[in-house]
Chain A
Amino acid sequence: MSINILRMFSRRTSSAPVARERLQILLAHERGQRGQADLLGILREEILAVVSRHVALDPEKVIVRMDRGKSVSTLEVDIEVPNDFDKRIAVAS
């Protein structure tokens, strides 16, 4: 029977600090949202409103991705726009 001495004495990487960090980030965002509007959500709505003033937006062609980080959050708005959009008359939504 082999004994893994190293395993015996080393501790597994503790998962609790990871959990703590995830929760801190998440709750910071969720607390911020209670009673106040969500900044990223507002940005999303306003960006879409601006774009749709110039281009007829097909909801299927709009992808919004967010990554809320500790100090920096990322908002990605991907909109597929047809190549002749500037020649067509925009439909305000």
Chain B
Amino acid sequence: MDSKVDPQRQLVRLRGRSYVAFVFSPVMPIVNWLEGIDATLARSPGFFVGRPIVLDLSAVKLSGHGIAHLVSSLENRNIRVLGIEGVDSSLLDASLPPLLTGGRHCMIEQSEPKKAEVKKETEPKAPPATSLLLESPVRSGQCIVFTEGDVTVLGSVSSGAEIVAGGSIHVYGTLRGRAMAGINGNQAARIYCQRIEAELLAIDGYYQTAEDIDQTLRSRPAQAWLDGETMKITPLI
């Protein structure tokens, strides 16, 4: 993560990236399942070393202690768990790997036959030509996420609402909430609105909060765009 501190603008970047990871889906009884892992390791000893492993616990019912015990059992076998999915977040304390959501199936090219199931997807870099149209205002507390392309809102976006788009964001109304465009690395994404009173604007991770937005621009039609690593907000028209 890059970070520069510039007195005029904040440039801490928050980016999303996806990686392919192996997923272990243990089944009960855990002891037998671990024996299966041991058998795999016996056949290919170093196979899991250095690979990101995710634990899918949706098929088993473990307590917080049970999960911690399982993670350390795997660590004893040189298997490091990157994240955990399929459990309630309350069971994971700070010493355990974080909770993951939103994983998708994908194929993995590999040289050897595997015992572990594989599950995550590489995301295409080219922005797809799809867009989402919302015909009513976006209300406080609502969060619209559309990573595949542009989002257009026929109405205002209330304070306390959030729009997250892979492409550009177009608001035919007043933008009072948060708008985050180009989240997949699309630096050409822009944010357009008829009246700018936004709480936060972000394009490909570079963001500005309400305080940073020039007072003279407020309550006028405006667009936000990236010029290199600088976010520019200029009047529309």
Per the CB under 8 Å rule, do A and B touch in the complex?
A: no
